[in-house]
């Protein structure tokens, strides 16, 4: 890492939990590779309002935003681009001399991860979840011409999101009956205390050709393990993480993101320890 001095710019990620995040490893590797005097840290907080006060007061140059703040942080920003407004969630903030601008790169990360293995247009895609990450994924899928079905534990929340994007929806009780070609999990099932749990019955996975999980962890989530056993092509969450981070880096710095360097950072011993945690 480059030497830290009085001119070092500060970037970071806010959320809770966030200590497991691999974003510091990626962004610090990218800063060093590009010769940018900056450091990226993880900040666990329950208050997006106070976090935005700190950004302005300490002149933090940019932030990533993760759960549970992607939606609530928007009211504390000075500007939100049209795409983030449409999605209803922000995962990236840039500090322009105290003027905080929010955008969303999650949808870019999801589409790039999917395009690497499959076509999307006209495909039947089942999205599990209806939170901030789901909103970004659904936005990208609809923009790409996919036929989307949203399935969520709370059916009313699925209905609300589906009406915004003209999609089909249902609760999770009858998820096995839903037809689809691609399955994407955007819920937190598979992470933290829910690690080792599959969000849907494993018996239904065989009908999907591609299964993607935005949750990431060492060895893959239970969902991806079960999907591989059924012969599905699987996409780990680390792929979406990489591509959305690359878009963040370019928004903050104006530099082309060093993808190979960032990908290598995700497999470093430090990153490996975090995924095991």
Residues catalogued as catalytic: 70
Nearest Cα to Cα of residue 42 among 28, 66, 24, 56? 24
DSSP classification of residue 257: P
Report the alpha-carbon angle 196-201-188, nearest 5. Answer: 45
- Burial code (b: 16+ CB inside 10 Å, e: under 16) for 54-80 equals bbeeeebbbbbbbbbbbbebbebbeeb
Q: Collapse the DSSP code of 109 into the 3-class scheme (helix H, G, I; strand E, B; otherwise coil) and give the result.
A: helix
Collect all residues with Cβ–Cβ distance below 8 Å to 248 and sequence separation of at least 6.
27, 62, 64, 91, 92, 105
For residue 146, report the phi and psi dihedrals to the nearest 5 degrees.
-80, 160
Distance CA 251, CA 244 (A): 11
């Amino acid at each position: 890492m480059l030497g830290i001095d009085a001119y070092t710019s500060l970037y970071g990620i806010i959320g809770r939990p966030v200590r497991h995040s691999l974003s510091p490893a990626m962004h610090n590797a990218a800063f060093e590779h590009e010769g940018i005097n900056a450091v990226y840290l993880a900040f666990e907080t329950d208050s997006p309002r106070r976090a935005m006060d700190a950004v302005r007061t300490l002149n933090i140059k940019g932030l990533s935003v993760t759960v549970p703040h992607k939606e609530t942080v928007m009211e504390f920003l000075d500007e939100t681009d049209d795409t983030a407004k449409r999605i209803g969630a922000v995962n990236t903030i840039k500090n322009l001399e105290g003027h905080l601008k929010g955008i969303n790169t999650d949808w870019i990360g999801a589409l790039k991860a999917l395009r690497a293995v499959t076509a999307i247009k006209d495909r039947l895609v089942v999205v599990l979840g209806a939170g901030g990450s789901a909103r970004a994924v659904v936005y990208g899928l609809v923009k790409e011409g996919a036929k989307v079905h949203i399935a969520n534990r709370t059916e009313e929340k699925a209905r609300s999101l589906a009406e915004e994007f003209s999609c089909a929806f249902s609760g999770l009780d009858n998820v096995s009956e839903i037809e689809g070609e691609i399955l994407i999990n955007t819920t937190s099932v598979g992470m933290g205390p829910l690690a080792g749990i599959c969000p849907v019955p494993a018996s239904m996975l065989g009908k999907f050709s591609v299964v993607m999980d935005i949750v990431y962890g060492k060895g893959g989530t239970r969902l991806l393990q079960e999907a591989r056993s059924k012969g599905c092509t699987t996409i780990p969450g680390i792929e979406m993480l990489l591509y959305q981070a690359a878009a963040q880096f370019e928004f903050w710095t104006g530099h082309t993101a060093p993808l190979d360097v960032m990908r290598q950072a995700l497999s470093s011993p430090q990153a490996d320890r975090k995924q095991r945690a």
